[in-house]
């Protein structure tokens, strides 16, 4: 991790605090966009497999800073693919995003159906990263698997995401911003289910060169998310409405047929279970 300032670096360091004490775990501060550093790292550490979760995330921030997203999400991915080409690995999990489906994709989103046009630079860079990864699989036999998580939530959620912001605002009694009428739907997927999918993809057979959804397949309206947070927190939200944003997809909805078939993936945590758990974690973590 390069612990950049996309959000508070102190929070990032807190998130990895203690990981370096675990057996077999080493926390390395570096930038994966630095190709020479990645070559040295792969050679020095004898890397066996890659779970590439590094990226500049955030749909809305990408509209204001597209060049930053291009550098990190496309050039950074290319640096890792080059390292994996020169220092072969058994599996390269390229963690993509549901945003690659874009506007115009058929609902629910199927991996092998024609995609739409990405609604944001973030979605465009994630699709470009996927295409680069699949090209390296085809051309250089790098065993790339593209995984597409859908609206991940749960403990240690990024502070810039809607659920985190809503929770903070409701607890503090401050107005929260709602863009549009709240009918936008997201396929919220608990982080533990995503981890199960990643773990399965590391060892599954016949998945190299594939793109696979990791979602929950039960989209929830944003206004329902607010209502469930109100219930879990025990406080009403103060909602300030704004016009809808062009970069927001109206719905994300994962078809899980391929994930079930190839990874035996089956999400276990319902949204009704995950929301109270998240609120409990938030209160404990932030001492509020």
Residues carrying an active site annotation: 122
**Which residue, chain included where needed, has tokens 């612990």?**
3
Phi, psi dihedrals of residue 185, rounded to the nearest 5°: -115, 140
d(CA 84, CA 254): 29
Phi, psi dihedrals of residue 204, rounded to the nearest 5°: -65, 150
Kindly write down the DSSP assignment for every residue of the chain, as one continuous string: ----SSS-HHHHHHHHTTGGGSTT-------TT-HHHHHHHHHHHT--EEEE------HHHHHH-HHHHIIIIIIHHHHHHHHHHHS--SEEEEE--GGGG-BT--SSB-TTSPP-B-SSHHHHHHHHHHHHHHHHHHHH---EEEEEE-SEESTT--TTSHHHHHHHHHHHT-EEEEETTS--EE--EEHHHHHHHHHHHHH-SS-TT-EEEE--S--EEHHHHHHHHHHHHTS--EEEEE---TTS-SB--B--HHHHHHH-------HHHHHHHHHHHHHHHHT-
d(CA 285, CA 288): 8
């Amino acid at each position: 991790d390069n612990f950049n300032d996309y959000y508070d670096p102190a929070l990032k360091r807190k998130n990895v605090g203690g990981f370096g004490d675990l057996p077999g775990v080493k926390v390395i501060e570096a930038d994966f966009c630095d190709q020479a550093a990645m070559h040295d790292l792969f050679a020095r550490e004898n890397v066996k497999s890659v779970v590439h979760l590094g990226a500049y995330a955030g749909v809305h921030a990408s509209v204001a800073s597209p060049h930053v997203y291009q550098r990190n999400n496309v050039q950074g991915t290319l640096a890792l693919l080059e390292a994996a080409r020169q220092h072969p690995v058994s599996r390269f999990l390229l963690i993509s995003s549901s945003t690659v489906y874009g506007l115009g994709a058929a609902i629910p989103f199927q991996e092998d159906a024609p995609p739409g046009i990405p609604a944001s630079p973030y979605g465009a860079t994630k699709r470009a990263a996927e295409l680069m990864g699949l090209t390296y699989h085809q051309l250089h036999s790098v065993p790339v698997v593209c995984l597409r998580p859908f609206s991940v939530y749960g403990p240690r959620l990024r502070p810039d995401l809607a659920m985190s912001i809503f929770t903070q605002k409701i607890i503090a009694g401050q107005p929260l911003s709602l863009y549009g009428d709240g009918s936008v739907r997201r396929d919220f997927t608990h982080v533990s289910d995503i981890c199960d999918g990643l773990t399965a993809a590391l060892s599954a057979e016949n998945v190299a060169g594939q793109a696979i959804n990791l979602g929950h397949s039960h989209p929830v309206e944003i206004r329902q998310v607010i209502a469930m947070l109100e219930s879990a927190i025990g406080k009403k939200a103060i909602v300030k409405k704004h016009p809808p944003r062009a970069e927001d997809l109206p719905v994300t909805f994962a078809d899980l047929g391929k994930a079930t078939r190839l990874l035996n993936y089956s999400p276990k945590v319902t949204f009704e279970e995950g929301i109270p758990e998240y609120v409990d974690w938030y209160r404990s973590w932030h001492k509020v």
